[in-house]
Chains A and B, each alone.
Chain A
Amino acid sequence: MILTGTKMRPPVKPSATLWALTVVVLVVIAAFLSTPYDPTKADFLNRLAPPSPQHWFGTDHLGRDIATRVLYGSVWSLGLSLCVVSIGAVIGTIVGLIAAQRGRWADMLLMRVTDSFFAFPELIAAVTIAGLFGPSTMNLVLALIVVSWMKFARLVRSLAVAVVQQDFVLQARLNGLPAHLVLWRHILPNVLPGVFVLWTNSWSRTILAISGLSFLGFGVQPPNAEWGAMLLDGKAYLHTAPHIMIFPGLAVLIAVLIINLTGDRLRDRLADEF
């Protein structure tokens, strides 16, 4: 008597969140294509203008359209943080995998090194490095990578250690699978979902860090259209033209909220899998 399966795989439905996300992305792209303004061109006749039909968010102290700058700023803030987190994730994953697989001494050594880096609060380390080596985008990115890879290393190590102890890894080894295939087929696929969740969480935190540090002058420098840098520009006009300070900050808030919500949904989805 041949058995047939009873539990079918549920069809994958794109969720409401995914639709919302797509809409947002499309709107942003449309905005990019349709804005008539150059984010860097100054227009001294129109300085510090409050929001109006011509300039939805108003203009800044050089007469540049804030709405356009906020749009271009998204590339800065989102793109930079994506770089930082992705590079940090790669480094951390490699370290974590080595620590989990190469024996007790390598594990202890790597984990102590990881812990040493962990002691430095992110922003303080970034302020120090960026400040000492000269505030610039590059130094900011490097500083943030240096203090963010450890989370991934720790996570990957504990996940990998748990996976390696599973019977299916033993079976693979007994079947003669070489180490690199064991890594590729068995360890990585079971470690990566966790890494992905951490990656999305870190992304939003890094956006806050980058904009915050740029606002303090330790990161992306004006006149680049990064949101934090824009807020720094506008600080002098706090009393006279408050609208400058509102929109870039709002952009950060919305971006982070969206990423957090998506990340939460993702985590719930993935949790079902386990």
Chain B
Amino acid sequence: MLDVSNLSVSVAGKTLLRDVSFSVGTGEMLCIVGESGAGKSTLLKGLMGMMPCRFDSFQHWPKGRSHRQGDAAVQGLPACRWVMQDPLAALNPKRSLGQSICESLYEQHLPAADQRKAALEALEAVDLSADFYDRLPKEVSLGQAQRACLARALIAEPALIIFDEPLSALDALVQKKIALRMDQLRREKTITYIVVTHDLGFAAAYADHVLLLQNGRMNTLQRRDDFFANPASPYANQLVNAAQTLGALDQMEAAR
């Protein structure tokens, strides 16, 4: 559903990201992996129109919109939501979780009762009970806050959700649970995910495609099984081996 060719992001004359291409089908998950500083978050910002970028082609279904080469900024992907790394920074400490979730519906201008109903449904979808609606962010755990952020993304029934290291702030047990739920929701509702993560275990368990970035450039783009069985580049090989040594890929077996 998203087809990007040779995307580059430059700011103030410095090129942060060069010639990245990928495509991901409807309902699939693309994991963008790489070391810190490889440009993963920059790519997200470029896709969301927050940083100026250039590309050869940018094809986006089902809206069928395509942008001409050289458009300085993508006008934000429609029906797209973004889940960020730190849930406590992403939620207004002065507003309840329910209010934050409903904000996602702002552009639809629904009556309050409908908004509340949708929010409660979204909360249920992320395994939070109805009394979380009125809680403030400081009254819930990190994991619960991140689930609320996920609910905020889901409530808008987006075609695409972008995740920027959604699990790295959480502890291991919570990570597993939320990762599982994320994947289930994706399959249930047929949402496309683009997930930036440095956790190869997560990619191994849930991704359809893996895009590896290194130093602002695209290193490899492979389907998940290919990536972990036959890494296409020496660098990818190093990473996969390292992850295997650390036991991070055991999840792959567990999740299948």
Binding site for B on A (CB under 8 A): 1-9, 166-168, 171-172, 174-177, 185-186, 189-190, 273-274
Contact = CB atoms under 8 A, between A and B. Distances in A.
Given A7-B140, A9-B139, A175 B94 contact: no
Main secondary structure of the interface of A (DSSP, over half): loop
Interface in B119-160: 124, 127-129, 131-132, 135-136, 138-141, 144, 147, 152
Interface of B: 48, 76, 81-82, 84, 86, 89-95, 100, 103-104, 106-107, 124, 127-129, 131-132, 135-136, 138-141, 144, 147, 152
A2 B127 contact: yes
Given A3-B147, A189-B95, 10 more contacts: A3-B132, A5-B139, A167-B90, A171-B103, A171-B152, A174-B82, A177-B106, A185-B92, A186-B95, A274-B93
B95 A185 contact: yes
Given A9-B136, A185-B95, A168 B144 contact: no
Contacts of A167: 84, 86, 89-90
Nearest to B140: A5
Contacts of A166: 89-90
Given A3-B128, A185-B95, A171 B144 contact: no
B54 to A, nearest CB: 22
Contacts of B138: 273
Contacts of A189: 92, 94-95
Which residue of B81, B106, B127, B147 has the most chain A CB atoms within 10 A of its CB atom? B106
Contacts of B91: 168
A168 B107 contact: no
A2 B144 CA distance: 11
B92 A190 contact: yes
B135 A3 contact: no
A168 B89 contact: yes
A71 B192 CA distance: 71
B128 A186 contact: no
B121 to A, nearest CB: 13
Closest 10 CB pairs of A and B: A189-B94, A167-B90, A176-B107, A167-B89, A168-B92, A4-B129, A7-B139, A167-B84, A2-B129, A175-B106
Contact of B131 (A5, A176, A273): A5
Nearest to A172: B103
Given A9-B139, A171-B103, A176-B107, A3 B92 contact: no
A190 B93 contact: yes
Contact of B132 (A5, A8, A168): A5
Which residue of A4, A167, A174, A177 has the most chain B CB atoms within 10 A of its CB atom? A167
A168 B149 CA distance: 10
Contacts of A186: 92, 95
A168 B124 contact: no
